[in-house]
Amino acid sequence: MSRKPVHLAVYDTLADWEPGYATAYLARSGHEIRTVAAGSPSPETVTTVAGVRIKPDMSLADLRPEDSSLLILPGADLWDTGDDLAPFARTARAFLDAGVPVAAICGATAGLAREGLLDDRAHTSAVSFYLAATGYKGGERYVEADAVTDGNLITAGPTEPVAFAREVLGRLGAFEGEKLDAWYRLFHDSDASAYEMLES
């Protein structure tokens, strides 16, 4: 049985470093990564914060939860400068309502907070007061941790792309148990002894 693709949201000012570990190692474990951008009927080319241009695979308007195994929402400056990315947060709601996982990091967590998706779920972000500024009602569910998984929702702050990837890889079964722990120790802690476990 073939796997459903993983969908990576892309938009102008996307923080290049945040989804990289997750998407690279999902792809290495056999998951197809498809990029999704706003724009209809065809998606618009986007430019990341590093100036990298991405031609998306598909338009957000055509994305359906039932066709996906995961939606990844990276951070971007645009999450904090207006409502341009609100459609991605609404899509995250549709995914979670359908029981399909969503992984949000950095500014994307603020977008989910504004959408009300963090009010009743454990979560994390850059710092608690960053999310508090959105006016959301989930402050009591904020967790001081590198990354947090609550059911089908994964959240992390901007300095934790490796912890974010660990949760994503574990959620989709790319690595499990000792191998997942070894992957994290290698890339987070530079523990060379973990390499042998990964290669076994």
DSSP-derived pairing of the beta strands 147-150 and 6-9:
unpaired
- Looking at residue 80, its amino acid is D
- In eight-state DSSP terms, residue 151 is T
Residue 116 burial class via C-beta count within 10 angstroms: exposed 0-12, middle 13-18, buried 19 and up: middle
Confidence (pLDDT) at 1: 44
More confident residue, 7 or 39: 7
Q: What distance, in Å, lies between the first and last C-alpha atoms of the chain?
A: 25
Share of the chain above pLDDT 90, in %: 92
pTM of the predicted structure, to 2 decimals:
0.96
Domains of the chain: 6-175 (3.40.50.880)
48 is catalytic: no
71: helix, strand or coil:
strand
Segment holding 70, helix H or strand E: strand 70-73
Confidence (pLDDT) at 2: 63
- Exactly one of 8, 106, 113, 153 is catalytic; name it: 106
Q: What mean pLDDT comes out for the span 71-99?
A: 97
pLDDT at 40 over 80: no
DSSP-derived pairing of the beta strands 33-37 and 58-59:
parallel
More confident residue, 196 or 133: 133
pLDDT at 42 over 90: no
Take residue 189 and report the two structure tokens written for it. 């802690």
